Amino acid sequence: MKIDSKSKKINKAWLHDHVSDPYVKQAQREGYRSRAAYKLKEIDEELKLIKPGQVVVDLGASPGAWSQYLRRRFAPKEAGAGGAAVGQLNGTIISLDLLEFEPIEGVQFIQGDFREEAVLQQLEAALAGRAVDVVVSDMAPNLSGIDSTDAARISHLIELAIDFSKQHLKPEGALVAKVFHGSGYSQLVELFRQSFKKVKPVKPKASRDRSAETFLVGIGLK
């Protein structure tokens, strides 16, 4: 069987970058499940979004690094093993993903497809009528490599996250969502501007330079 030498080189380069990545090493030291924790950490430190006592919904949560960061913010002086703080949780974290999710103490997890009404109903039941302070979304579709198809898939997920935020966020609440530069990006920025008073694109240092991902933050519903 022939192996494509180009893809072999790409995989080798990715593996080398991953192993030598300072954020990967830091995540291993600090007990985070992935380097993604530092993306949310940078966004939070810049914009001061996460505060103890809040209700936060984490969309596309697996493997759980963002939920781990949120957990630490809600019990910052009691960091424990496994990347989650232990003890009393001062706040509510509800996480959702299609994939399985290794439990984190105090984090309520719902497994299912965010696009399905039944899953949204589970999420609403978990909120029990409470308004949400912050929605964080690291959701990303399976990319096909076809620009128009991928842009449509990404837009659909962002539209769902914005729609959920409009229905459940507090008036001054915030949405943090992963998007990708490329086809459809300017339309997503415009969608955020139509929905939020303040919109800020953020490219955290923890997001690799060559990655097309960036994050849009919308604060205060219009």
pTM for the structure as a whole: 0.86
Query: What does the pLDDT average to over 57-64?
Result: 96
Tokens of 133: 């302070």
Domain extents in the chain: 1-30, 33-221
Tokens of 77: 């002086």
Considering the segment(s) 33-221 as one domain, its CATH architecture is 3-Layer(aba) Sandwich (3.40)
What is the spatial distance between Cα 55 and Cα 209, in angstroms, rounded to a whole number? 32
Predicted confidence at residue 93, as pLDDT, reads 97
- Catalytic positions are 178
Residues 98-114 have pLDDT tens digits of 999 999 999 999 999 88
Q: Does position 63 have pLDDT exceeding 90, yes or no? A: yes
Instruction: State yes or no: 138 annotated in a binding site.
Output: yes
The residue among 179, 165, 167, 91 whose CA lies nearest residue 135 is: 165
Predicted confidence at residue 15, as pLDDT, reads 53
Predicted confidence at residue 11, as pLDDT, reads 63
pLDDT band at 53 (very low <50, low <70, confident <90, very high): very high
Residues 191-216 have pLDDT tens digits of 999 999 999 999 999 988 888 899 99
Percent of the chain residues topping a pLDDT of 70: 86
Instruction: State yes or no: 163 annotated in a binding site.
Output: no
| Highest mean pLDDT, choosing among 31-35, 85-89, 172-176, 182-186 | 172-176
Predicted confidence at residue 217, as pLDDT, reads 98
pLDDT band at 151 (very low <50, low <70, confident <90, very high): confident
Instruction: State yes or no: 97 annotated in a binding site.
Output: yes
Tokens of 46: 């810049």
Q: Does position 163 have pLDDT exceeding 80, yes or no? A: yes
Q: Does position 80 have pLDDT exceeding 70, yes or no? A: no
CA atoms 13, 15, 18, 20: torsion sign: negative
| Highest mean pLDDT, choosing among 12-16, 113-117, 179-183, 184-188 | 184-188
Instruction: State yes or no: 209 annotated in a binding site.
Output: no
The residue among 57, 59, 56, 89 whose CA lies nearest residue 72 is: 89
Q: Does position 188 have pLDDT exceeding 80, yes or no? A: yes
Instruction: State yes or no: 133 annotated in a binding site.
Output: no
The residue among 201, 203, 222 whose CA lies nearest residue 211 is: 203
Higher pLDDT, 16 or 14: 16
